[in-house]
Amino acid sequence: MSRANRTKSKGIVTWPEGERPRERLLRLGAQSLTDAELLAILLRIGFKGTSAVELGRQLVKQFGSLRAVAEAPLIALRGFKGLKGKGGAKAAQLAAALEIARRISLPDSREKVRIMGTQEAAVRLQSQLRGLPEEHFRVLFLNRNGLLLEDALLAVGSVDKARPPIRLIVARTLQTNASAVIVAHNHPSGVATASESDRIFTEDVFSALKPIGVKLLDHVIIGEDSLFSFADSGMMDEIALAATTG
C-alpha cells in the first residue's frame, strides 16, 4: 500500500515510525519537515478519511503557501474542512501557533528598541502590517530619546475603517507617558498611498496631541512592497505649519 493510501485510509499512527512527522522532528529536527508536516504536528489529528498531514497539504494548497496560511483571517481557517469542529478549537490552536511564530520574528520586547526615524519604524511596521487581509492601525509610543515604550494595535477593520478614536490614542499616550508618537496602518490593496481621509485623520491626531505636549512624528502607510511616510514626503511639515498659522 502506498504512503498516499495509508494517509487517506488509516492515518499517521499506522505509518512506519521513521516516516511519522513527530518522530522525524525529534530525530532530525524541525527543519527536516515539509510545510504540511509542520502544520500536521500543530493540528495533531485530521478528520475522517484524511490524516493530519493530508489536512496540512490541503491547507497549503488552498491558501497557496505556509505564509498565506499564517496570514489568513481566523474566519477563513474556521471555514476550512477539518478545522470546523469543536467550536473552532483546532483553528484557534493553529492561529495561535502561527501568531507566536510571527511575534518571535519581531525584536525581543526585553531589548531596548530605539526608533529615530522612518527607516527604523518601517522595519518594525512592515513585519507587522505587510500582507494582512484587513486594515490594521498601530501606534508606536516613544520617550524623548526615541525609546519604544509601547507598540499597540488599536483598530482592525475594512478599508478606511480601521481608525481608532482619537481619544483612545490620547489616553494611551498619557498612560505610557510618551513624548512622541508614530501612527501607522496598512493598505490591504498593497498600494502605499495617502488618501484624503488619511491626511484628515493625521491632522486630527496632530491637533489632539499638540495641547498635551506630545509630537506626532509620522504616519506610515504600509503596502505590499512599498511604504508611504508623511514625514519623508513633507506632509507632516505642512500639517504642522497649518496648525501653527491656522
Q: What is the DSSP string of the chain?
A: --HHHHHHHT-GGGS-GGGSHHHHHHHH-GGGS-HHHHHHHHH---BTTB-HHHHHHHHHHHHSSHHHHHHS-HHHHHTSTTSSSGGGHHHHHHHHHHHHHHHHTSPPTTS--B--SHHHHHHHHHHHHTT-SSEEEEEEEE-TT-BEEEEEEEEEESTTT----HHHHHHHHHHHT-SEEEEEEE-TTS-----HHHHHHHHHHHHHHGGGT-EEEEEEEE-SS-EEEHHHHTHHHHHHHHHHH-
pLDDT of residue 180: 97
The structural domains of the chain, with segments of one domain joined by +, span 3-104, 118-245
Under CATH, what is the fold of the domain 118-245? Cytidine Deaminase; domain 2 (3.40.140)
- Tell me what the mean pLDDT of segment 96-115 comes to: 75
Confidence band for 152, pLDDT divided at 50, 70 and 90: very high
- Per residue in 64-89, pLDDT (tens digit) is 998 888 888 888 888 888 887 667 88
